[in-house]
Chain A
Amino acid sequence: TIVQQSTVVKFAPHSIFYSSTMSILQYNGGAVIAMAGDNCVGICSDLRLGVQAQTVAMDFEKVFPVTEKLYIGLTGLASDVLSVNQLLNFKTKLYKLRENREIKPEAFSAMLSSLLYEKRFGPWFTEPVVAGLGEDGKPFLSGLDLI
Chain B
Amino acid sequence: MDSVISLVGKDFGLIAIDTNSPRSVIILKNDLNKYIEIGKNKFLAVSGHPGDVSQFTDFIQKSIQLHSLKIGIPLSTHAIANFIRKEVSFCLRKSPVKINLILVGFDDSIGSSLYLIDYLGNLQRMNYCAQGHTSLLVFSLLDRHFQKEMNIEETIGLLVKCIGVIRNRFLINQPNFLIKIIDSKGCRGLGVL
Q: Do A and B come from one complex?
A: yes
Is B126 in contact with chain A by the CB < 8 A criterion?
yes
Which of A53-61, A66-74, A96-104 makes up part of the contact surface? A53-61
Assess whether A57 is in contact with B135, with CB atoms less than 8 Å apart.
no
Interface size class of A (residues with CB under 8 A): 10 to 19
Interface residues of A in 38-61 (CB under 8 A from B): 49, 51, 54-57, 60
Option from A56, A60, A78, A122 in Cβ contact (under 8 Å) with B120: A78
Assess whether A49 is in contact with B122, with CB atoms less than 8 Å apart.
yes
Assess whether A82 is in contact with B123, with CB atoms less than 8 Å apart.
yes
Which of B18-26, B70-78, B85-93 makes up part of the contact surface? B85-93
A82-B85, A83-B121 known; A122 vs B116 contact (CB < 8 Å): no
Interface size class of B (residues with CB under 8 A): 10 to 19
Is A28 in contact with chain B by the CB < 8 A criterion?
yes
B140 to chain A, nearest CB (A): 10
CA distance A55 to B140 in the complex (A): 10
A79-B89, A79-B118 known; A60 vs B124 contact (CB < 8 Å): yes
A49-B124, A79-B118 known; A54 vs B135 contact (CB < 8 Å): yes
Nearest residue (CB) in B for A79 is B121
Nearest residue (CB) in B for A125 is B120
Assess whether A77 is in contact with B124, with CB atoms less than 8 Å apart.
no
CA distance A80 to B116 in the complex (A): 16
Residues of B within 8 A of A51 (CB): 118
CA distance A56 to B130 in the complex (A): 9
Determine which residue in A28, A56, A60 has the highest number of CB atoms from chain B within 10 A of its CB, and name it: A56
Is B136 in contact with chain A by the CB < 8 A criterion?
yes
Assess whether B93 is in contact with A79, with CB atoms less than 8 Å apart.
no
Assess whether A83 is in contact with B124, with CB atoms less than 8 Å apart.
no
CA distance A136 to B144 in the complex (A): 50
Assess whether A78 is in contact with B93, with CB atoms less than 8 Å apart.
no
Interface residues of B in 85-103 (CB under 8 A from A): 85, 88-89, 92-93
Is B139 in contact with chain A by the CB < 8 A criterion?
yes
CA distance A79 to B92 in the complex (A): 10
Residues of B within 8 A of A54 (CB): 135-136, 139
Assess whether A77 is in contact with B93, with CB atoms less than 8 Å apart.
no
Assess whether A78 is in contact with B136, with CB atoms less than 8 Å apart.
no
Residues of A within 8 A of B88 (CB): 79
CA distance A82 to B85 in the complex (A): 10
Residues of B within 8 A of A83 (CB): 89, 121
**26 pairs, CB–CB < 8 Å, chain A vs chain B:** A27-B120, A51-B118, A54-B135, A54-B139, A55-B139, A56-B116, A56-B124, A56-B129, A57-B124, A60-B124, A77-B122, A78-B118, A78-B120, A78-B124, A79-B88, A79-B89, A79-B92, A79-B120, A79-B122, A79-B123, A80-B89, A82-B85, A82-B121, A83-B89, A83-B121, A122-B93
Point out residues on B near A: beta carbons under 8 Å.
Answer: 85, 88-89, 92-93, 116, 118, 120-124, 126, 129, 135-136, 139
User: What are the 5 closest A-B residue pairs judged by CB atoms, nearest first?
Assistant: A79-B121, A78-B122, A79-B120, A57-B124, A79-B122
